[in-house]
Amino acid sequence: MATKGDKTMKKSIKITLIVIAAALIWIASALVVIIRETESQQTYMTLEEGLIETATTSRFGYFVPVGDECEFSIKTDCPADITSDIKIFIGSKENEPVYTASGVKTNSTVTTGKLAVGNQDVYISFELEDSDNIQVEENCQVKYTIDIKSQNYTLFKNILFAIIVIIVIPLAIFLFYLFNKSKNYEKGYDERQVKVRGIAYMNALFAAIVSALGLGVLSLILDTYPLSTSDTTFAIIMISFATFAIFADKNDAYLGLRGSRRPLAILFGIAGFLNLLGPAIDFITDIRNNSDTVYFSIICGICLLAVSIEMFIKMAREKKEALADEES
């Protein structure tokens, strides 16, 4: 008769095999990505103000990443007496242009050749001049058709990621198995705590959904939404985690039977404080110039501090309750 340990072992082996198979599939797809050259993409731009500067990576949302090397073919379609000066910048509009074409006439196509863009933002500026070489300021009907070919040399990145996947995931599963095998874990939470944690997970899920919707609406309403996509994701995770931790701890189920609240409360407090310290320094001194991460740090800081404060309050109440029981 198979023991519980044998069953767990078999289950663990099965999961490990599935993960290894998934990792192999991933490597195969990564290799496909390596040899894939992004096909020509095409879009149209209508110039309205004489000069338009567009971050192509954001404008061509389907073209991320741009690639390590890029080749632009730009066809102009404008009134016969107007010529275009085309400049391409990499990284920032303030940088020196990596490509310049002057006096491009209508219905002509300029090709940049391969530009080493290194996955950075690409900016293209168009300046219109009339036959007297005077810059055209007023609106006019101009259309640019831009073809882009890009190539990624992500061999190293992909293989590194694949190695990490291959090593880390089976290791994590092995640790999970060891963790499950441990008798301490089996006694980690009592039945009431398990029940409460289930409700806490559900609340955390709702919090994640609501915060995702809320941040999504904010990104639509605000002209300058301060969080990047990855920051938004982490912010949602932090809000969800804080909801779980606060609800579970409030109902005595965040820590197991042998868990100690004080070190965790201090740790969360310090982490929250440090997260808020960065934005505070930014606000007071303006020394650091990484405003991209300020709002994310504030969200993380508030979430961690909230968990920490709740834990300290709970600790005080616990102490009081235990004392009252001892006295009675």
Residues 181-210 that bind other proteins (CB under 8 A): 187, 190-193
Q: Is 132 in the site for other proteins (CB under 8 A)?
A: no
- Closer residue to other proteins in complex, CB, 154/193: 193
DSSP 276: H
Tokens of 161: 């990621």
- Closer residue to other proteins in complex, CB, 8/184: 184
- Closer residue to other proteins in complex, CB, 175/322: 322
Q: Which of 30, 252, 271, 294 binds other proteins (CB under 8 A)?
A: 252
| C-alpha–C-alpha distance, residues 112 and 80, integer Å | 23
- Closer residue to other proteins in complex, CB, 11/187: 187
DSSP three-state, residue 14: helix
| C-alpha–C-alpha distance, residues 78 and 34, integer Å | 39
Backbone angles phi, psi at 129, to 5 degrees: -130, 145
| C-alpha–C-alpha distance, residues 82 and 76, integer Å | 10
Q: What's the length of the chain?
A: 328
Helix, strand, coil abundance in the chain, percent, nearest 5: 55, 20, 25
Shortest distance, position 326 Cβ to other proteins, whole Å: 6
- Please count the residues of this chain forming the interface with other proteins, following the rule CB under 8 A: 13
Q: Is 286 in the site for other proteins (CB under 8 A)?
A: no
Shortest distance, position 255 Cβ to other proteins, whole Å: 9
Q: Which range in 9-17, 62-70, 212-220, 319-327 contacts other proteins by CB under 8 A?
A: 319-327
> In DSSP terms, which residues pair with 83 in a beta bridge?
129
- Closer residue to other proteins in complex, CB, 103/259: 259
Q: What is the CB neighbour count within 10 angstroms for residue 157?
A: 14
Q: Is 257 in the site for other proteins (CB under 8 A)?
A: yes
Shortest distance, position 182 Cβ to other proteins, whole Å: 15
Shortest distance, position 189 Cβ to other proteins, whole Å: 8
CA distances (Å), origin 134, targets 50, 61, 211, 298: 11, 34, 52, 49
- Closer residue to other proteins in complex, CB, 75/314: 314
Binding site for other proteins (CB under 8 A): 187, 190-193, 252, 257, 318, 321-322, 325-326, 328
